[in-house]
Amino acid sequence: MEDILVMRSKEARRLHIIEQVIEKQLTQQQAAEHLGLSVRQIRRLEKRLSEEGERGLCHRSRGRPSNRRIAPKRKEKILVLYSEQYAGFGPTLAAEKLSERDKIAISDETLRLWLAAEGVVYPSRKRRPHRRWRQRRAQWGELLQMDGSHHDWLEGRGPHCVLMAYIDDATSRVYARFYEYEGTYPAMDSFRRYIRQYGVPLGIYLDKHSSYKSTAKQTEEEQLLDSKPMSQFQRSLAELGVEVIHADSPQAKGRIERLFRTFQDRLIKEMRLEKIASIEEANRFLEKYLLIYNKRFEVAPAKAADLHRTAPPARELDRILCIKSERVLRKDWTLCYEGKLYQIQENIRAERLCIEERLDGSLHLMHQGRSLRYSEILTRPVKVQPPANRSQTPKSSTPCSEHPWRKFQFGRAEKRVPTPPT
């Protein structure tokens, strides 16, 4: 049985032209011009074809191992490290970690080929339906995308938590922090930390979570003023002068959704390597991680100007980013809030007071922009209830001997004789 020789198109073209040279249909000079070789090389190829046949025109290294291949022992070591420490990592991230942690330089494509040959399965990105591309905003601070991601970020080593993340639409710069849940307090606290670091952005892109958009119906007063009910976070953003845009679908804020997919792959594995098991440790690690991440993936904006406004003073910021509500002040200068009774220790004239529950847990009773002195009434006065009237049984009375009742004869009605007409 004859061996089958597989030739590349370039080698097949060489064979055809050299055969024409041997048959005297082309000169060596013409063949050299067609193949881009020298006349000397054409003579060498003509000799090979005559002595070795068609196989002589194939590359001499075909079928031989590459001189630049990685040694088998080194390959085995890398695959053992992958299976023990980086199982589930994609080739790109695994190659990065091998270089950073183990000082082993390996191409991600080489590692990809090795894993495919070993039959190792790892998560891969699936193609999604193409959606219309939206142009980035031109300047940093013009628009933020914000959302919370619920995920087992600590992979069972610690409590379930939520990643509150912000990504700038123009630069893709990321700010993020872990919290126990997604709600008003995490939204206010994370946004306060963001604006203390970067400043107040012009606008923010949110979904329709109840913490970001109120679900309450309009009151009569709001209907008269033609205003819509706002959540506490909405009200804080309005006081800071930040434009709020609510997305109608997750695809509308695709930049933050793609960030979460990336973090749920790369960030989780980074924290696994560091054996992080608490929210506090995760936040400390996240600060360092974001410095490296932003340095690598941040892009330059179309315009260099920074549109962030200077953050208000800390005291003013505390008054804005807090839970506000109103309560009626009683005539004895007491009010009730969250089931507790408070006594105002100042002489004021007011019907209602504004109550501010700050992010640090403190409670402030405000009147005309001033915090009032107050104390909590721990033991309420007990009202003494008057004794209940006892129901008295009616006493029977015995008529006296002269009572008309005794003179009445039962069953002996007196017969009346009709009076004759006159």
Q: What secondary structure, in 3-state letters, does 313-362 show?
A: CHHHHHHHCCEEEEEECCCCCEEEECCEEEEECCCCCCCEEEEEECCCCC
Alpha-carbon distances, residue 390 vs 234, 365, 387, 395, 396 (angstroms): 59, 47, 9, 15, 19
pLDDT of 114 strictly over 90 = no
Task: Please state, rounded to an integer, the average pLDDT across all residues of the chain.
Answer: 85
Specify the pLDDT at position 364: 92
Average pLDDT over residues 335-361: 89
Q: Where are the alpha helices (DSSP H) in 57-107?
A: 72-85, 91-101
Please list the residues that pair with 149 across neighbouring strands. Answer: 163
Question: Considering only 38-47, 116-125, 190-199, which range has the smallest mean pLDDT?
Answer: 116-125
Q: String of b and e for 409-422 (b: at least 16 CB within 10 Å)?
A: eeeeeeeeeeeeee
pLDDT of 253 strictly over 80 = no
Q: Would you put residue 377 in left (φ > 0), alpha (ψ -120 to 50) or beta?
A: beta
**Domain 144-215+228-297, architecture per CATH:** 2-Layer Sandwich (3.30)
Q: Where are the alpha helices (DSSP H) in 184-300?
A: 184-197, 220-225, 232-240, 254-274, 279-297
Place of tokens 């190659």: 95
Specify the pLDDT at position 333: 86
Q: Catalogue the E-assigned strands of 152-219.
A: 161-168, 174-179, 203-206
Average pLDDT over residues 164-177: 95
Q: Which amino acid is at 78?
A: I
- Please give the model's pTM, rounded to 2 decimal places: 0.66
Looking at per-residue pLDDT, the higher value among 163 and 118 belongs to: 163
Specify the pLDDT at position 1: 45
Q: String of b and e for 253-277 (b: at least 16 CB within 10 Å)?
A: bbbbbebbeebbbbbbbbbbeeebe
Distance between CA atoms of 232 and 213, rounded to whole angstroms?
A: 9
Looking at per-residue pLDDT, the higher value among 221 and 418 belongs to: 221
Specify the pLDDT at position 136: 84
> How would residue 320 be classed by pLDDT, with cut points 50, 70 and 90?
very high
> How would residue 89 be classed by pLDDT, with cut points 50, 70 and 90?
confident
pLDDT of 372 strictly over 80 = yes
Place of tokens 């208000």: 312
Entry field: residues in the chain: 422
> How would residue 346 be classed by pLDDT, with cut points 50, 70 and 90?
confident
Specify the pLDDT at position 254: 78
